[in-house]
Structures are given as C-alpha cells and as structure tokens.
Amino acid sequence: MPDRLPALSFFFPAYNEEENVEAVVAEALATLPRFADRFEIVVVDDGSRDRTPELADALAAADPRVRVIHHSPNRGYGGAVRSGLASARMPFVFFTDGDRQFRLDDLGLLISRIDDADAVVGYRIKRSDPRARLVIAWVYKHVLRTVFGAGFRDVDCAFKLIRTELFRRVPLSRVRSDGAFFSAELLLTLRAAGARIRQVGVPHYPRVAGIAAGAAPRVVARTLRDLILLRARLWISR
C-alpha cells in the first residue's frame, strides 16, 4: 500500500477561475511534496475571458514546476481534461477541478489504492452543491445506469489518479466527447478496455468563489447528445 509516488503530473482545468487559480497552485506547491518525489503542475486555461490566463502565466514564470496550456477558443470541460491528460509527462497523472471543492490533502486516499489498479477514481461521500445541481446529478446518474449498466458511483467526481501508460493501451482518441460527458465516457471506455479501476470515497466542499456552469441548458443538451452517440458506438462495436 504505497503512500508516495515517484513522479506525478497534476493538472486542473480553469475557465474563468481568476478567484481560484492562484490558491489552487499554492495549495499544490505546498501539498504535493508529501505525495511525490517529483511533480509538475499544469493549469489548463480553457479560453478564459477573465484574468485567469495572465495569472496562470505569472505563476508559471515564478516556478519552473508550473506550466500553462492555453485554449483559444474555449473547448469545453472535456477538451480541457483531454489536454491535461495528454500533456502529462510523469508516470502518474492526477486531476481535480479549479473550483477548490476538493482538497489536495485527500490525494493520499487515491494513492493508497493505486498499487493494484490502473486508475483510482473518487466518489463524493456527500456532495456539497446547490439543490438544483444535486437533482440534475441524481437524474444523470440513473440515466447512465439505465443506459450503460451499474459500476460507477460518481462518474463526474473530479478527483482521479491514473497511470499515464494506460493511455498507450487505451488512446484518448477513443473518447469522442469534449463536453461534460467526457468524464463518463472516459471511465466507460477504460472499463470496456479491461482497465482495473478502483473507487474511493472522498470529501467534497462548497464552492467559495467563482460560478459553476455545469448545469447550463446547453451543457445538459450536449451531454445527452454525446451519451446517445456513445451508446450507439458501443452497440455497433458489438
């Protein structure tokens, strides 16, 4: 049961997170030395329209362990996660969101299960979101279970640790979505390819700054479209 990793790539997507980006990087610089001998921090600026890009560039200029990926235009949540995964230079890649609803101190919960797994994914023990988002999440979870079968307790939990070499066996090009459905499609694709995936409960905290966009009608519509397309591809592949 390991408690440290030899080398770790940590990234987080950031879309209009000027109130959070400096705090996330500071938390990572203070916390990650406890969990990895070497590490890098990648900020994926997904076409932000606020001061996120310039703040991220300043952080990278101040510390060689920090680098920035800029998207222009915005690619969507899945596109940002895809870029972060593809950019990882270390044997393990870990990501969370830039809204500070998770604590990097809890990374140890994932590391403790990685020894016999290709990926360890968190599920929120108690989700700290507004009621409307909780209702949408409940419906989404049950739609996924109906369409794809049981297996994952919380596909959208943005607290995942993955062996980088897994993407040589299961290329990211197999995951088509660049929207909010990316997280679900990633796990379903990895599972279909036989990846060893472990699930671990993690704490979830209220957002203290910034505005969440995940429940916007256009995001929901795009997610449903991508869900239907994946179901069709899996049927055809059989």
212 versus 60: the higher-pLDDT residue is 60
Cis peptide before 73 (omega within 30 of 0): yes
From 54-63, 65-74, 98-107, 142-151, the region with the lowest mean pLDDT: 142-151
Q: What is the pLDDT of residues 89-148, one digit of tens each?
A: 999 999 999 988 999 999 999 999 999 999 999 999 987 666 777 677 677 677 777 677
Characterize the bridge pairing of strands 66-71 and 5-14: unpaired
Residue 76 in contact with residue 36, Cβ under 8 Å?
no
92 versus 235: the higher-pLDDT residue is 92
Q: What is the pLDDT of residue 72?
A: 93
Q: What is the pLDDT of residues 15-47, one digit of tens each?
A: 999 999 999 999 999 999 999 999 999 999 999
Give the CATH number of the domain where residue 138 resides: 3.90.550.10
Q: What is the mean pLDDT of the chain?
A: 88
Q: What is the span of the domain harbouring residue 121?
A: 5-237
Per-residue confidence band for 213, with pLDDT thresholds at 50, 70 and 90: low
Q: What is the pLDDT of residue 236?
A: 63
Cα separations (Å) of 67 from 40, 80, 144?
Answer: 8, 14, 35
Q: What is the pLDDT of residue 159?
A: 96
108 versus 192: the higher-pLDDT residue is 108
Reduced to 3 states (helix: H, G, I; strand: E, B; else coil), residue 131 is: helix
Reduced to 3 states (helix: H, G, I; strand: E, B; else coil), residue 119 is: strand
Q: What is the pLDDT of residues 163-176, one digit of tens each?
A: 999 999 999 999 98
- Predicted TM-score of the model (pTM): 0.86
Per-residue confidence band for 179, with pLDDT thresholds at 50, 70 and 90: confident
**Number of folded domains that form the chain:** 1
**Rounded to 5 degrees, what are φ and ψ at 211?**
-125, 130
Tokens representing residue 216 in the block: 């916007």
DSSP string, 35-97: TEEEEEEEEEEES-SSSHHHHHHHHHHH-TTEEEEEESS---HHHHHHHHHHH--SSEEEEE-
Per-residue confidence band for 215, with pLDDT thresholds at 50, 70 and 90: low
Residue 216: HSE in the Cβ half-sphere, 13 Å Cα cutoff: 11
Q: What is the pLDDT of residue 25?
A: 98
